[in-house]
């Protein structure tokens, strides 16, 4: 039985988009049957009010100088595990991004997967506003996501969760600056842990042209546009 949830949100100069992210997490946390949720915002080398925004929202805030979404994601979940008041098998961990909004059923869905014996859930993402890009980018993105249902091949740090015991079994997120989410899922599967590929309700993420993380989702969109 899951008795607590902790979610890590890496953020670099995200004072504008972070409030919507945190609001969506609070709504998801308020759904029936969801245990207490701790939100850890990892303010990574921020020069704006990201940390203040997170504190005002009641989040746990870590101010770091890593300049790496992957390293910040790891720092946030590691801190959540260290502070947890429940055993690892009763702790559920999740991660999303500061420019993203989770669906209201996000935690409830994850707990259903957990109750069915899954160790982790790799979800999908979608984009609501393509106005910053040429229309061809949205078309090519849709082609990439031609299959986003059960057993889809996608992995996104913006929509990833796992049990505390699974996280401990693989030693947490690997210390990578890029593709740490893919590496974590690969490590879980290599150990024979069960990863649900859930595509029913994606996390909505930003398609801005000034991505905060080099080599991440924003760069994928640039590449789809031929940039």
pLDDT > 80? residue 217: no
Q: What is the pLDDT of residues 29-69, one digit of tens each?
A: 999 999 999 999 999 999 999 999 999 999 999 999 999 88
Chain CA centroid to CA 182, Å? 12
Domain containing 164 — which CATH number? 3.90.550.10
pLDDT of residue 81: 95
Other Cβ atoms closer than 10 A to 22: 22
Residue with tokens 């600056």: 177
Domain containing 213 equals 4-224
pLDDT of residue 50: 98
CA dist 219 to 68, 142, 210, 214, 224, Å? 15, 16, 9, 7, 9
Share of the chain above pLDDT 90, in %: 70
Question: Which phi and psi (to 5°) does residue 5 adopt?
Answer: -130, 140
Average pLDDT, the chain: 90
User: Average pLDDT for residues 202-211, to the nearest whole number?
Assistant: 78
Structural domain total, the chain = 1
The structure's pTM equals 0.90
Q: Cα–Cα distance between 209 and 95 in angstroms, integer?
A: 22
The residue that leads in pLDDT, 224 or 86, is 86
pLDDT > 60? residue 223: no
- Bridge partners for 120 per DSSP: 162, 195
User: For residues 29 and 5, is the Cβ–Cβ distance under 8 A?
Assistant: yes
Q: Cα–Cα distance between 51 and 111 in angstroms, integer?
A: 29
User: For residues 54 and 43, is the Cβ–Cβ distance under 8 A?
Assistant: yes
Q: Is 190 exposed, middle or buried (0-12, 13-18, 19+ CB in 10 A)?
A: exposed
pLDDT of residue 88: 96
Share of the chain above pLDDT 70, in %: 88
What 3-state DSSP class applies to 96?
Answer: coil
The residue that leads in pLDDT, 212 or 116, is 116
Binned at pLDDT 50, 70 and 90, residue 136 comes out as confident
pLDDT of residue 153: 87
| DSSP codes joined into one string, 171-216 | TSS-S-SS-HHHHHHHHHHHTT--EEE--SSPEEE---SS-SSTTS
CA dist 70 to 33, 87, 129, 213, Å? 30, 25, 25, 9
| DSSP codes joined into one string, 144-172 | HTS--STT-----GGGEEEEHHHHHHTTS
């Amino acid at each position: 039985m899951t008795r607590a949830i902790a979610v890590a949100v890496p953020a670099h100069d995200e004072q504008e988009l972070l409030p919507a992210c945190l609001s969506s997490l609070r709504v998801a946390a308020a759904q029936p049957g969801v245990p207490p949720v701790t939100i850890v915002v990892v303010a990574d080398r921020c020069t704006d009010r990201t940390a203040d925004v997170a504190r005002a929202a009641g989040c746990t805030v870590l101010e770091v100088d890593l300049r790496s979404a992957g390293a910040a994601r790891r720092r946030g979940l590691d801190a959540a595990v260290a502070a947890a008041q429940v055993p690892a098998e009763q702790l559920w961990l999740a991660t999303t991004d500061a420019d993203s909004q989770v669906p209201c059923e996000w935690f409830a869905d994850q707990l259903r997967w957990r109750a069915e014996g899954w160790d982790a859930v790799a979800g999908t993402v979608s984009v609501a506003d393509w106005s910053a890009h040429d229309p061809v980018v949205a078309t090519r993105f849709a082609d990439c996501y031609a299959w986003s249902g059960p057993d889809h091949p996608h992995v996104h740090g913006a929509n990833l969760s796992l049990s505390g015991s699974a996280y401990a079994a693989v030693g947490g997120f690997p210390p990578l600056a890029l593709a740490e989410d893919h590496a974590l899922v690969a490590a879980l599967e290599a150990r024979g842990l069960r990863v649900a590929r859930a595509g029913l309700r994606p996390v909505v993420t930003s398609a801005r042209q000034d991505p905060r993380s080099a080599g991440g989702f924003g760069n994928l969109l640039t590449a789809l546009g031929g940039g």
